[in-house]
Structure 1
Amino acid sequence: MTTINILYASTEGNTKAFIEKLAAVAESNGDGFSARLIGDETEYANETQPYVAFVPTYLTGGTGTGPEVKEIFTNALGDYIAFGNNARYLKGVVGSGNRNFNIQFNLTAIRYGKNFDVPMIAAYELRGSKFDAEKIYNKIKPYFGE
């Protein structure tokens, strides 16, 4: 049995709803599943197991991807990953957002991948679908061994 470990940020509940779909897929495949919401009130801890981060895209400033565009609402997750040796256990990032924002869709996950030198594994829109959860489960499972 594989145990899939997830750290995530969720501001409006979209990512949390997707994580619940992903948990159902993992459990239906006989895998363990652990997911923790990381927010401003989360106390820092030292991670000791591999995990994948799920991060929605919330941006302010400008209309493109230049330096004037700032991350909002997800900074606590980035700070948590940067704490101690936590980044060493990060295996990749899955992002979400609204495709109406074109080039900014999924920009936060792309930036996390670059900042922490891990792959941006996949992206889905808003709350995602059951199909998205199945597809992403199959993409992240290899990061946790068999």
Structure 2
Amino acid sequence: MKIVYISLTGQTRKFVQKLDMDLLELTPTNPFISINEPFVIVTPTYEKEATEILNDFLETANNKQYFKGIAGGGNLNFGQLFVFTAKDLAKEYDVPLIHTFEFQGNDEDVKKLKKAVNDLGKA
């Protein structure tokens, strides 16, 4: 399954590269990409304006029909706001929040997310 992500500071990019999976990085200049295969989004936590490219991507062509789940990264010091971007998108698009991790994640986060993505692919 494809992993679609944004990485404004490089933390999320470093994390998803550890997954050794099929990756697609969205940037502000290319959010309107159409894909026709199941995918999971991995997103950092930022203000809505910074992550609107995810909504642009999801609303392009038939992308949202292939959206299977989301994982979020952030800083635990955010308290209630930890991974709010992923939580909001999960609710808005009715997909499961499959994993949360801090900063670049660790080896256990990599294992857990890979398992969650593989489990979604079997469903």
TM over 0.5: yes
Residues 6 and 52, structure 1, Cα contact 8 Å, conserved in 2: yes
Aligned to 2:3, what secondary structure does the other structure show?
strand
Mapped pair 1:46 → 2:34: yes
Shift in CA distance, 11/43, structure 1 to aligned 2, threshold 3 Å? closer
The counterpart of 2:45, out of the listed 45, 48, 57, is 57
Residues 34 and 61, structure 2, Cα contact 8 Å, conserved in 1: yes
Instruction: Give CA-to-partner distance per residue, 1:23-55, whole Å, 9 cap, x none.
Output: 1xxxxxxxxx21011111115232210000001
Matching of residues 6-85 of structure 1 within 5 Å:
6-23=3-20, 33-42=21-30, 44-59=32-47, 71-85=48-62
| Structure 1 ranges of 4+ moved more than 3 A | none
Aligned to 2:119, what secondary structure does the other structure show?
helix
Gapped regions of structure 1 (runs ≥ 5): 24-32, 60-70
Identity over aligned pairs, percent: 31
Aligned to 1:131, what secondary structure does the other structure show?
helix
Q: CA RMSD in A?
A: 1.4
Which structure shows the bigger proportion of residues in helix conformation?
2
TM-score normalized with structure 2 length: 0.93
Q: Distance in 2 between matches of 1:90 and 1:121?
A: 12
Residue 140 (structure 1) aligns with: 117
Shift of residue 91, structure 1, vs aligned partner: 0.1
How many residues were matched structurally?
123
Mapped pair 1:120 → 2:117: no
Gapped regions of structure 2 (runs ≥ 5): none
In our comparison, the structure showing a higher alpha carbon Rg is 1
Residues 39 and 76, structure 1, Cα contact 8 Å, conserved in 2: yes
Q: Distance in 1 between matches of 2:107 and 2:17?
A: 10
Residues 75 and 82, structure 2, Cα contact 8 Å, conserved in 1: yes
